Amino acid sequence: MSDAKRPVVIEMDEGPADPGAAPPVPEPTGAAMQGAVRLAARPRSRLGGWFWASASALFSFVLSVAAWNYVTGLLASNRVLGLIALVLVVGFVTLLLGVALRELAAFARLRRVDGIRAEAEAAAGTGDLKAARHIVGRIGGLYAGRPELRWAREKLAARHDEVLDADALIALAEAELLAPLDQAARREIEAAARQVATVTALVPLALADVVTALAANLRMIRRIAELYGGRSGVLGSWRLTRTVMTHLVATGVVAVGDDMIHSVAGGTVLSKLSRRFGEGVVNGALTSRVGVAAMEVCRPLPFRALPRPKVSNLVARGLKGLFGDKAEG
């Protein structure tokens, strides 16, 4: 019994470990957001496009013929069941046509917003008051059905005839109509950045951060488009997302630099203490960059009278309280 209570001495060949010699934690790279952006912005192959178009046409044709044969055969064998099947098929086709019309209407609204922005960019600096009033009228019509902008529209209408400078009139429309929409878009960006950062930091599952980042960015871009009047369907949302992501990849904005880590107070400390938390900060910052690009794409007027949102401020407000309370907006 006395031998069992003796202390055990383990001899070590090497001396005590030196904490200073430990390798540093790798710098976060924002791999989840970069993967999501490149996935959405991947260029389409013309051969692949023709393949999927022909496959869709063939599938639709086969399905239509099969449904027709099924309904006609059922009518011949049992008239009551055949009529029920016919009503169901007609209802399905009607709903399908409704979805198609909604998608076409969504594309039309996106083109309408793009047209207003193109006219505003072309009229900038020309001094054409008639063109400026036409642009302001189109923007007012775009938001005619928005009750939350009724007061802003009334203020713009009250001062519309007083402004005789083209650039000042467009700036007035931007300040009155788009300022509250910009604030709502900022809140959407902050929420998306917070969600992406949280999942990246807390969920260690492979590809979970990439899927979450892509889904959060798709939802954020769609909500920003809806805020600015370009409500989009499924195909319209994907087209809009591809436009935003392609722009980011082409301009190199998805590249990670030191400004991404320092955009949130304490970000460098977190990246040194935990790679997952550092990745969360970087992915949240990249999500904010995507959101700012989406605002520029979806906005009916370019940023002139109002300042363009800063990514550092968006990330600081979005992640405040998540990685610490030191972040200031």
pLDDT at 248: 65
User: How far is it, in rounded angstroms, from Cα 206 to Cα 188?
Assistant: 26
What are the C-alpha distances in Å from 313 to residues 133, 190, 247?
Answer: 34, 9, 22
pLDDT at 87: 92
Q: Tokens standing for 88?
A: 């169901």
Summarised one tens digit per residue, pLDDT across range 160-211 is 888 888 888 888 888 888 999 999 999 999 888 888 888 877 776 667 777 7
pLDDT at 266: 46
For the stretch 100-137, what's the b/e string if a residue is b when 16 or more beta carbons lie within 10 angstroms of its beta carbon? eeeeeebbebbebbeebbebbeebbeeeebebbbebbe
pLDDT at 292: 87
pLDDT at 115: 87
| Alpha helices (H) along 124-233 | 129-142, 150-160, 166-173, 179-202, 208-227
pLDDT at 268: 45
pLDDT at 91: 92
pLDDT at 15: 52
Residue type, 301: L
pLDDT at 183: 92
Query: Which pTM was predicted?
Result: 0.71
Which residues of the chain, if any, have pLDDT below 50? 256-261, 263-269, 272, 325-329
Q: Tokens standing for 320?
A: 């405040």
